[in-house]
Amino acid sequence: MDLKEELKGSILFRYLSDEEIEKIVPLCEEESHPAGTELYKEGDFANKLYIVKKGKTALDLKNTMAPYDPPSRMIVDMIAPGDAMGWSALVEPHIFTLSCKCVEECSLISVSGPGLMELMSRECHIGLKVMTAIAKIIATRLTHTRVLIIGERGLHTVTHY
């Protein structure tokens, strides 16, 4: 599958026309990473976002909810082919809210955050479609995080004062 088809099949760009996809292509690079590679850490500056072509990545966050235990990592989401991560590259303050690690060998498409922001400011119809997809991604991650927190704390703790 060529780059344009990969972009068109992704959750982030599936509603863009072929002409709009053509404008995204120059902002992209293809990357390969072995299993275990940490792509970014929670708190790092975000200047690119990613689409998974092959493999899986895990998004996790630092869990400090147990006051007497050392912090642990909590997996929020597993990102599979066609899915996107790194939306922080498009949203100020451009700081990653989660960490991302390849759990399998991965082929990725990285997209320049500043380049895409500049394109979206010139071509608002592209920006609307992309930011609508980003909103759906954020909403899904928020739901996953809420479910995990409830499971971690126990339903009793969050339903009784």
Domain definitions of the chain by residue range: 3-159
Neighbours of 3 (CB within 10 A): 15
In the structure encoding, which two tokens stand for residue 124, read together?
A: 């608002």
In the structure encoding, which two tokens stand for residue 132, read together?
A: 């609508």
Rounded CA-CA distance 59/74 in Å is 8
CATH superfamily of 3-159: Jelly Rolls (2.60.120.10)
Per-residue pLDDT of the chain (161 residues; tens, 9 = 90+): 799 999 999 999 999 999 999 999 999 999 999 999 999 999 999 999 999 999 999 999 887 766 777 777 888 899 999 999 999 999 999 999 999 999 999 999 999 999 999 999 999 999 999 999 999 999 999 988 888 777 766 544 544 44
Give residue 104's pLDDT: 98
- 3-class state of residue 93 by DSSP: coil
